[in-house]
């Protein structure tokens, strides 16, 4: 091929191309064009560039032409390519999205690409519409009707906001050894045994295990997490009844925080998480003794994400429980080892969400005050203390 365009890079352009090749992820075509320009600048012929870069002669020609007639950006960018016209007009695409967001036909749980294609054919002059056309148009509008998430949709009212800000203010306080903030929750786990021994991994082959397993009942994990220091505690029990909750509260007071004047406990709204649970488990004087040093702070309903210990339970599930554990005894040993290592690492949950951020990001959901001007409406916001 005759050389018609001569590439002469400036020092700045050469440095920019070198940075492009050594930098992060880029499109392969763009990297090839950069190599072509650098090779041409170094005096290589088109035939040599074709061999060394691994492209066709027309690619070399177009890249050099783009640089000489345009600039570096023009040489590196993709030239517009002719293509077929879009099959659906703007109105028809809007109709497709609206149909995908509507209820599916009778007898169907959800829309599929084929059902949507048939529906649009009936609603428009098109005689035929491929599922790929439907998929692309839905993807452009970031819509996938076959997907769904299960989610707890909270009712955000004044009680929700009051509980949320109460918990967030606790997290924002400076650490106080006399009044620690402890997050508490529980997590069930199924005890599972292997029917056949797994095959250990080896080079070139991943670990393999049989799909069949043998169940050995369930267990429960009570998890404590200090919001202001790197401490957590995992207690394994056979159940999570009121008596088990009461036992956890007494251990928290007498064993884990014997010097604390009052322990502020963040927990959810489970029926067993109450002062009454201690009276079910202990004599009245003992229940009162424990409760005098506890202060319950409940997260809003359907807002377990506000309980910091949920994050820690997620870490526990990924690092320790993501396997088959066959017995209560082994579960105790494994969780104790995880707890010891996690505490030794001084791992902490770095909580970033504050009351100020909540008011900024959730301003739309905050209830509007109903008190008339000139009048003060008193709202009870105190936390029950026992």
The pLDDT of residue 163 is 94
Which residue in the block uniquely carries the two structure tokens 């005098």? 292
CA 298 – CA 288 distance, rounded (Å): 20
**For range 327-337, the mean pLDDT:** 95
Q: How confident is the model at residue 286, as a pLDDT?
A: 96
pLDDT at 84 over 80: no
pLDDT interval class at 1 (50, 70, 90): very low
Instruction: Give the model's pLDDT for residue 142.
Output: 83
Between strands 263-267 and 294-298, the pairing is parallel
Over residues 297-308, the mean pLDDT reads 92
Predicted confidence at residue 166, as pLDDT, reads 95
Q: pLDDT digit string (tens) for 93-107? A: 999 999 998 999 999
Q: How far, in Å, are 49, 68, 294, 382 from residue 46 at the CA level?
A: 5, 15, 80, 80
Contact assessment for residue 280 and residue 243, using Cβ atoms and an 8 Å cutoff: yes
User: What's the pLDDT band for 383 if we cut at 50, 70, 90?
Assistant: low
pLDDT of 378 strictly over 70: no
HSE-up (13 A, CA, CB side) for residue 282: 19
Average pLDDT over the chain, rounded to whole? 88
**Beta strand extents in the chain (DSSP E only):** 181-194, 213-226, 232-237, 263-267, 294-298
Look at the pTM and tell me if it is higher than 0.95.
no
């Amino acid at each position: 091929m005759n050389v018609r365009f001569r590439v002469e890079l400036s020092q700045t352009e050469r440095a920019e191309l070198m940075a492009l090749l050594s930098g992060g992820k880029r499109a392969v075509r763009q990297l090839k064009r950069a190599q072509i320009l650098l090779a041409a600048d170094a005096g290589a012929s088109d035939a040599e560039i074709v061999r060394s870069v691994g492209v066709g002669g027309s690619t070399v020609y177009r890249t050099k032409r783009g640089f000489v007639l345009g600039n570096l950006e023009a040489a590196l960018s993709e030239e517009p390519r002719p293509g077929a016209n879009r099959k659906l007009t703007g109105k028809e695409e809007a109709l497709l999205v609206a149909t995908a967001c509507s209820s599916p036909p009778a007898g169907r749980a959800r829309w599929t690409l084929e059902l949507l294609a048939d529906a649009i054919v009936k609603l428009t002059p098109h005689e035929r519409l491929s599922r790929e056309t439907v998929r692309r148009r839905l993807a452009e509008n970031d819509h996938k009707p076959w997907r769904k998430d299960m989610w707890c949709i909270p009712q955000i009212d004044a009680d929700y906001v009051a509980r949320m800000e109460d918990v967030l203010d606790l997290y924002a306080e400076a650490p106080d050894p006399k009044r620690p903030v402890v997050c508490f929750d529980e997590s069930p786990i199924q005890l599972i045994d292997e029917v056949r021994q797994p095959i250990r991994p080896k080079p070139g082959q991943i670990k393999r295990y049989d799909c069949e397993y043998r169940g050995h009942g369930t267990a429960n994990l009570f998890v404590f997490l200090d919001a202001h220091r790197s401490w957590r505690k995992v207690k394994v029990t056979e159940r999570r009844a009121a008596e088990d909750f009461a036992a956890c509260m007494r251990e928290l007071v007498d064993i884990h925080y014997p010097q604390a004047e009052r322990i502020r406990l963040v927990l959810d709204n489970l029926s067993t998480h109450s002062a009454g649970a201690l009276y079910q488990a202990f004599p009245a004087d003992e229940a009162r003794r424990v409760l005098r040093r506890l202060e319950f702070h409940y997260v809003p309903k359907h807002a377990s994400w506000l309980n910091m210990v949920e994050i820690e339970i997620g870490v526990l599930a990924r690092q320790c429980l993501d396997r088959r554990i066959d017995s209560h005894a082994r579960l105790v040993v494994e969780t104790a080892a995880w707890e010891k290592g996690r505490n030794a690492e001084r791992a902490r949950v770095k909580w970033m969400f504050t009351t100020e951020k909540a008011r900024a990001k959730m301003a739309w959901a905050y209830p509007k005050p109903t008190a008339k001007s000139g009048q003060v409406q008193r709202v009870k916001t105190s936390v029950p203390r026992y």
